Structure 1
Amino acid sequence: MDLRTSRTRRIHTGLLAVASLLILVSCSGAGPGTGATTAAPGVPPSSAAASRAPAPAPPEPTSAPAAPTPPAPQDQAALDGQLVSAAKANDLPRTAKLISAGGNVNAKDSLQDSAFLYAGAEGFNEILELTLAHGADVASTNRYGGTALIPASEHGHVETVRILLAAGVPVNHVNNPGWTAMQEAVLLNNGGPRQQEVVRLLLDAGADPDIRDPQGRTVLENASMLGFGEIVELIGQRR
């Protein structure tokens, strides 16, 4: 074998060794420490990495906020008394503040007036609506055994009557003197335009004109006796 042939064989053998090494590296993938990840067959590399990611820690439990401590009975009574006084003064901002502080819109003073009852009787409509929004008892009664609707009707507070009827105040309630809201609207006022509108609203809400007063008279009979022709006509149209 001459020198040229021997050199050619060595070169050929070296090339084969390099080729084998390259094939071996490409088949085995990157070695440890290179940062590469070998995915399982048929699984994309990103899915394989995600499957080995640590699970997020569960959220720590949160405790419910503690319920506010109710005021002592004497403090609640003082707050309720201030609320009734504010309502009687038609002081809307103070009434709202006292309600927000925990004042009870149904609590009554020594005269059996609550913020709701007094606002209804006197036509303090903003305060009335505020008490209704905070749980006013629409069936509650005053010292005469009457609902807020009865004095509101007596005084001819037309818009107040609308609010109370919409809130569901009983329309045919009879108070201790034996009168309904419609009876008081006729007997204790002048039969003018406001009283006529109140009677119309009460009739629309289902008021019964045939409920008799302690003297045995109906609303129609009382209106006729007092000469309130327009109210007589209003009631007559519903028969």
Structure 2
Amino acid sequence: MARRTTLRPAHPLRALAGAVAVAALLTAGPPASAQVPPTASEAQAYRGLHAAAFQGDTAAAKRLLAAAGDTAPALLQARDARGRTPLHVAAFARQRDVIRVLAQAGASLDPLDNDRYDAVTIAAVADDEDTLRLLLSLGASARQVTSRYDGTALIAAAHLGHEGVVRQLIAAGAPLDHVNNLHWTALIESIVLGDGGPRHQATLQALLQAGASQALTDRQGNTPLQLARQRGYTAMVQMLEQAAARR
């Protein structure tokens, strides 16, 4: 997915890993490149349901959908130039009341935009726990494969150290051990694309508590424990060792 954090290698082994990771930061990250929120000019150009979604105008959204009658599904499925539906736009803009209106009108909660992002992953990357909670309560899936890197919302959130989002996604049945096309799981990304600090430690702990596999390796055959040791992430090493001892 997209870039999400700055790698800070501390020794030669980490420098090498960092070089690999920089090329791979397009795997599950924030809207720095692949996941792109509407720009100011795009938002200004929006009309109809896209405009209502971005502005959080529930009255306008209801009026447009009522006036559309039998053609309302076409409005709900309409796409902007980047393939964003009104639901995508509302998720980016954190317009939860509009999301409810769209869902009640029959909007699909799981469409992918042109970059293969869904509303769940948009909320996950933004660390927007309230919007994520709403989407999941409405029936959106936490299991979708998203982005050009065949990742998941869980991998995206683990990369960023969004512990609360990670816990929500786990509870919603997100695949714990999905392997993206960089050969990384959420557990591995919390190590190799994190900074080893408290947020990523908490994320790692959430994944370990949920039973995420420590046996799955990166493409070079490194286990999560080996990856944490290479980076000098002492706290993560201890967490991984303790979790392995309990199994």
**Which residue is 2:98 aligned to?**
94
**Which residue is 2:214 aligned to?**
209
**Which residue is 1:77 aligned to?**
77
> Greater relative contact order: 1 or 2 (C-alpha under 8 angstroms, separation 6 or more)?
2
Equivalent of 1:221 in 221, 226, 229: 226
Equivalent of 2:167 in 149, 153, 162: 162
Residue 138, structure 1, aligned to residue 115, structure 2: no
> Could you tell me how far apart the structure 1 residues matched to 2:138 and 2:107 are?
10
Structure 2: which 5+ runs fail to align? 1-68
Shift of 1:86: 1.1
Structure 1: which 5+ runs fail to align? 1-68
Root-mean-square deviation over aligned CA pairs: 1.8
1:146-196 Cα distance to aligned partner (Å, 9 max, x none): 111101011111111111111111111111111000110000110001111
Aligned residues: 171
| Structure having the higher Rg | 1
Shift of 1:97: 2.3
SS of residue paired to 1:106:
coil
**Which residue is 2:113 aligned to?**
109
Alpha carbons of structure 1 residues 86 and 72: separation in structure 2 relative to 1, 3 Å = closer
> Could you tell me how far apart the structure 2 residues matched to 1:73 and 1:160 are?
30
> Could you tell me how far apart the structure 2 residues matched to 1:216 and 1:133 are?
38
> Could you tell me how far apart the structure 2 residues matched to 1:101 and 1:127 are?
18
1:100-154 Cα distance to aligned partner (Å, 9 max, x none): 2222110121111111221123221111111111221221011221111101011
**Which residue is 1:149 aligned to?**
154
Equivalent of 1:127 in 121, 128, 131: 131
Matched AA of 1:189:
G
TM-score by length of 1: 0.67
> Could you tell me how far apart the structure 1 residues matched to 2:159 and 2:174 are?
15
Q: 2:124·2:165 contact (CA, 8 Å) conserved in 1?
A: yes
> Could you tell me how far apart the structure 1 residues matched to 2:72 and 2:99 are?
21
> Could you tell me how far apart the structure 2 residues matched to 1:186 and 1:136 are?
28
1:56-108 Cα distance to aligned partner (Å, 9 max, x none): xxxxxxxxxxxxx7646633312870110110122222222222222211012
Q: 1:121·1:149 contact (CA, 8 Å) conserved in 2?
A: no
TM-score by length of 2: 0.65
